[in-house]
Chain A
Amino acid sequence: MEKVGVIGVGQSSFVRGYPGSIRELAFEGFKEAMEDARIQTKDIGASIIASAPEYDKQRSPAGVIAEYLGLVPQPTFYIESICSSSSMALRVAYSMIKAGLHDVIAIVGFQKMSEISSGESQERMGRGADIQWESPFGTMMPAYYAMYANAHMAEYGTGEEDLAKIRVKAATYGQINEKAVYRKPVTLEMFADPESTMSATVAKPLRVGDCCANADGSSCIIVASEEKAKALCDKPVWILGLGAASETVNMAGRDLLTGLKVAIEAGKQAYTMAGVTPKDIDVAEVHDCFTIAEMMAYENLGFAKPGEGKDLIGSKETYKEGSIPVNVDGGLLSKGHPIGATGGSQIRTIVLQLRGEAGGMQVKDPEIGLVHNIGGVGLYGNVTILGR
């Protein structure tokens, strides 16, 4: 079967208060991916632009960004599934290449979150849930995930310190990732210290240290047909498996509160398509918008049995030297989470890992990597498996 390969990856630094417009931000990730792929804009058959709306004023950002990147007159359009937008765009690009419509496609994810205040940002994200029946209660993303955390704690005895260990790991790698927004270490002591901002409650039981950092950023993934990838690229990374699923937007429709059904379902699809099992994964990027989200990802993707995620992080198996390294680029927690750019950044990390180019974050000789990218509170789920 004809394969689809990743031939170029790039991302901007993830920062607070990017000193430029969205098109200029998008240019940064695109330029790096183009230099990585060593191709010209005329080689690209189409572009897909991914972000979540309402953070900036531009309506229909695809046209503006495609023009700025020099991708006119090729077709361009916008894909949105909140935080998993760029993984969803990768899924669409894959299908367009498989269908023979194009042989090279650029996926550009971006988000400039700093144009609005943190409270406004929480209101926007809260409206990524059910605006008719839930937002009137004053919901926001940390509180929804906090409900999952309380349910997980009640069911499995998971503790606040188990969650804090995930943040400590993220910060270990955020310190060495030049593109991360949060470059400082985090210790368990900081979670226990009332003087530390890390210990301040956001939505019980989640504290500031349990929550990812808002950031401005862009990412770009360039994919190509097997023939083009082999012709253009020395080290293409192949898309082995793709999974995607959705879940009820309203919490009242959910029957699992200790894990995300979209992750379980998308994971199953991706494993089946790739013909691999969780044991075959050498390195993973999971959507750690909150520490509890990474804990559930361990269990939903089969790296640990339900309730045993705390043992996996407790024994440091998800550190770089462990049996299943997870988020060794700092994750969303330390690298930052510019919504529409996040999935592309996760793909980039795995591609660099599989090419052996991850520098100080490099895992020993990985062959198969996995990306778990979630939109909203488990509303949309994408799992992508990549291989050399």
Chain B
Amino acid sequence: MAKKEVDDRFKRFGTVSFTAITKANDFISYLEKGKVMGTRCKECGAIYFPPRSDCSKCLQSNMEWFEVSGTGRLLSFSELKYGPVGFEEDLPYTIALLDYGDYKVFGRISKDLPYGDLNVGMELSTEPTTLPNGQLSYVFKRP
């Protein structure tokens, strides 16, 4: 009997992924195609980033994907000089939160954008990226 194949695409997310299996695994395939995607509930229209497979507003599980596009406003950020185990090689790096109006996106600032140039309120875009260790992620850049 053939062994059942496990869909563990999510283990490819970020420097170190702590999750392998999720119903939102298509997020990884979209990243591979160069798209950062959230989900929208087809029943009630609720918008989610990070993407969810189930709607907490109407409790239905009928989602469609939408692309994170345009720019978001930088709400806050911090540059880490120390990191958790597994992230030492990335240091220093800057985590940040962007406000897209209907949703927010948490992630990292691109290495080519100096910390000193960052200001709360500036507009940045979200771009997919492949990390040096081959993992998939996204970064915030100047549009």
Which residues of chain A have a CB within 8 Å of any CB of chain B?
117, 119-120, 122-123, 126-127, 130-140, 142-144, 146-151, 154-155, 200-206, 250-254, 257
Contacts and interface: CB of A to CB of B under 8 A. Distances in A.
A257 B121 CA distance: 13
Contacts of B78: 143-144, 146-147, 149-150, 203-206
A136 B13 contact: yes
Interface of B: 10, 13-19, 22, 49-50, 75-88, 90, 93, 95-97, 103-108, 115, 119-121, 135, 137
A146 B81 CA distance: 12
A136 B14 contact: yes
B84 A150 contact: no
A153 to B, nearest CB: 9
Given A137-B95, A137-B137, A252-B105, A151 B80 contact: no
Contacts, number: 125
A254 B78 CA distance: 17
A59 B17 CA distance: 24
Given A123-B84, A135-B18, A136-B137, A151 B120 contact: yes
Contact of A138 (B22, B95, B119): B95
A158 to B, nearest CB: 13
A173 B83 CA distance: 30
Contacts of B50: 130, 132-133, 250, 252
Contacts of B83: 119, 122, 138, 140
23 contacts: A133-B106, A136-B15, A136-B135, A136-B137, A137-B15, A137-B137, A138-B16, A138-B80, A138-B84, A138-B86, A138-B95, A138-B108, A140-B83, A142-B80, A142-B82, A147-B77, A147-B95, A149-B78, A150-B78, A204-B79, A250-B106, A252-B106, A254-B104
Contact of B80 (A123, A133, A203, A254): A203
B40 to A, nearest CB: 15
Contacts of B79: 201, 203-204
A202 B81 contact: yes
Q: Which of A120, A131, A139, A148 has the most CB of B within 10 A?
A: A139
A140 B80 contact: yes
A114 B140 CA distance: 36
Contacts of B135: 136
Given A251-B106, A252-B50, A252-B105, A132 B76 contact: no
B7 to A, nearest CB: 15
Nearest to B78: A146
Contact of B49 (A123, A130, A205, A252): A252
Contacts of B14: 135-138
Contacts of B81: 200-204
Given A137-B106, A202-B81, A257-B97, 7 more contacts: A123-B86, A133-B50, A134-B106, A136-B14, A138-B84, A143-B80, A154-B120
Nearest to B27: A133
A139 B84 CA distance: 7
A122 B84 contact: yes
A143 B95 CA distance: 8
B15 A202 contact: no
B31 to A, nearest CB: 12
A135 B16 contact: yes
B96 to A, nearest CB: 8
A301 to B, nearest CB: 22
Q: Which of A138, A143, A253 has the most CB of B within 10 A?
A: A138
A206 B137 CA distance: 26
A252 B97 contact: yes
Q: Which of B85, B105, B137 has the most CB of A within 10 A?
A: B85
A306 B69 CA distance: 34
A200 B92 CA distance: 14
Q: Which of A120, A137, A144, A250 has the most CB of B within 10 A?
A: A137
A172 B82 CA distance: 27
A123 to B, nearest CB: 4
Contacts of A131: 18-19
Given A119-B85, A251-B106, A136 B18 contact: yes
Contact of B104 (A123, A151, A252): A252
A201 to B, nearest CB: 5
Q: Which of A127, A135, A257 has the most CB of B within 10 A?
A: A135
Given A132-B19, A136-B13, A150 B77 contact: yes
A150 B85 contact: no
Nearest to A134: B106
Contact of A119 (B13, B17, B84): B84
Nearest to B81: A201
Nearest to B94: A204
A140 B22 CA distance: 23
Nearest to A151: B76
Nearest to B88: A119
B125 to A, nearest CB: 16
